[in-house]
Structure 1
Amino acid sequence: MKHKYQINGISCGGCVARVRKTLEEHPDIEKTEIFLNPKGKTIISMKERLSVEELQQQLNKLEGYTITEIL
C-alpha cells in the first residue's frame, strides 16, 4: 500500500537520508521515497497502514520534522 504525505522540515539531501532511515526502521514500512522537488513530498509503502500519529511518533526520534497526509 502506497500513501502520500508531506514532511515539513526537509531542506536537503541529508535530511532526506536521515528521515528515510528513521521511517524505514519501523517494521511496517517497506519503502520511503522523499522528494526535494516539491520539497518534502513523500510516498511511503507499508505492509499495514499506519496512522499519521504513528508515523509522527516514529519521526519524533529526530527533531524538527512533522508529517501530514496528502489526500
Structure 2
Amino acid sequence: MKKKYQINGISCGGCIASVKKTLEVHPNIERAQIFLEPKGAAIITMSESLTVDELQEQLNTLKGYTITEFKETT
C-alpha cells in the first residue's frame, strides 16, 4: 500500500538519501520516494500499514526530521 507524507527538514539530495535509507531499513517499508519538489513530499510503500508515530520513531535515528500524513485539500 502507498501513502503520501510530508517530511519536514528535507533541504537537499543528501537529506533525501539519508531519510530514504533510514526508512527503508524498517521491515514493513518496501520503498520510500522522497522529493525536493515539492520539498519533502514523500510516497512510502509498505507491506503493512504503519502509523505516523511508528514512521517518526524510525526517523528519530536522524536529527531534525518530522513526518506528517499528507492531507489533500479539495
TM-score (norm. length: structure 1): 0.99
Alignment of 1:17-56 (within 5 A): 17-56=17-56
What is the CA-CA distance between 1:52 and the residue it aligns to?
Answer: 0.1
RMSD: 0.4
What is the CA-CA distance between 1:13 and the residue it aligns to?
Answer: 0.1
What is the CA-CA distance between 1:31 and the residue it aligns to?
Answer: 0.3
Amino acid at match of 1:67: I
Unpaired runs of 5+ residues, structure 2, are none
Identity percentage over the alignment? 69
CA distance in 2, matches of 1:66, 1:46: 18
TM-score (norm. length: structure 2): 0.95
Report runs of 4+ in structure 1 exceeding 4 Å deviation. Answer: none
| Equivalence for 1:66 | 66
What is the CA-CA distance between 1:45 and the residue it aligns to?
Answer: 0.1
Amino acid at match of 2:6: Q
CA distance in 1, matches of 2:61, 2:34: 17
Unpaired runs of 5+ residues, structure 1, are none
